[in-house]
Chains A and B, each alone.
Chain A
Amino acid sequence: MERTDTKQAVKVVLLGNSGAGKSSLAQRFVFNTFNHYSESTIGASFFTKHMLIQNGQQELRISDEKSSDQEEEEEAQQSIKFHGELLLSFLCQPLVAVLTLNLFNFGQYGTQQDKKNIIRLRRCIIGEHVQQ
């Protein structure tokens, strides 16, 4: 049977002046945490998070469950290193944080997991700090 999976990679950029709270917003959204003493972003991070979506993409809901997918965790670790190396070349760029959401919207003929309409989202948040 032909699968009807649809996949959607959504790239969202966060822009704004230094100190406006781009990284804090991303951190709150992805980890639901807040760092009172966060410093200007000079590093880059890669976050993986699972989200549940109900009835297609119209209703978006974050699952509290943490990812237990070891493979994805390892990929995330590798990405941190990768972006860490890339960082140096970004230091002269304007203040931008890039948030990449990968949305997987599974069709109705999938596995049990698919039927629950589990959407996997990966977020890559890149921030960089320069003197204004």
Chain B
Amino acid sequence: MYYRGARAAVVVYDICNGPSFEALKSWLQRLKEFGPKGLIIMIVGNKCDLADGRQVDREQAESFAKSEDCLYLECSAREDVNVELIFQEIARLLPSGKDEGPINDYFRLQGPESIRTRFCGC
């Protein structure tokens, strides 16, 4: 379903919400069960700006991510901390663009030939 064809998954929890961290296990379970092989998985602890309400230790989360063979980052969408880094890290780990990667349906409608023409300024 959603995971089909995905190259990476960002599994988000709220550092001020313990249950959302506990739920990571079942999210990861699903990914392992239904997700594609070789999926890049990053665990992200959001709302790190709300340090006062923290319920999940960074070290705890980090070692959990390590044990699950996942990347890990804490971020804050509100304060714009590490958000871009999440996707940079994912982009960095993606195989070279020269490989025949999956082509999105959106563009497949046009076909690769028309894409080539569209950007050819020769």
Q: Is the CB of A24 within 8 A of B98?
A: no
Whole-angstrom CA separation of A13 from B19 in the bound complex: 21
| Per-residue contact bits, chain B 79-122, to A (CB 8 Å; 1 contact, 0 not) | 01001101110111010111101111011000010011001111
Q: For A15, give its contact among B7, B10, B115 (CB under 8 Å).
A: B10
**How many Cβ-Cβ contacts under 8 Å join chain A to chain B?**
156
Whole-angstrom CA separation of A35 from B35 in the bound complex: 31
Q: Is the CB of A21 within 8 A of B119?
A: no
* Size band of the interface chain A makes with B: 35 or more
Q: Does A84 contact B (CB under 8 A)?
A: no
Q: Is the CB of B13 within 8 A of A17?
A: yes
Q: Does B20 contact A (CB under 8 A)?
A: yes
Q: Does A25 contact B (CB under 8 A)?
A: yes
Known: A3-B120, A20-B14, A113-B119. A12 touches B9 (CB 8 A): yes
Q: Is the CB of B119 within 8 A of A114?
A: yes
Q: Is the CB of A17 within 8 A of B46?
A: no
Question: Which A25-73 residues have a C-beta within 8 angstroms of B?
Answer: 25, 27-29, 32, 34, 36, 56-58, 60, 62
Whole-angstrom CA separation of A60 from B89 in the bound complex: 9
Q: Is the CB of B75 within 8 A of A25?
A: yes
Q: Is the CB of A17 within 8 A of B17?
A: yes
Whole-angstrom CA separation of A2 from B68 in the bound complex: 44
Q: Does A131 contact B (CB under 8 A)?
A: no
Q: Is the CB of B17 within 8 A of A27?
A: no
Question: Which A85-116 residues have a C-beta within 8 angstroms of B?
Answer: 93, 96, 98-103, 105-106, 109-114
* A residues near B2, Cβ cutoff 8 Å: 13, 93, 96, 98
B-to-A contact residues, CB < 8 Å: 1-3, 5-14, 17, 19-20, 23-24, 27, 30-31, 44, 46-47, 75, 77-78, 80, 83-84, 86-88, 90-92, 94, 96-99, 101-104, 106-107, 112, 115-116, 119-122
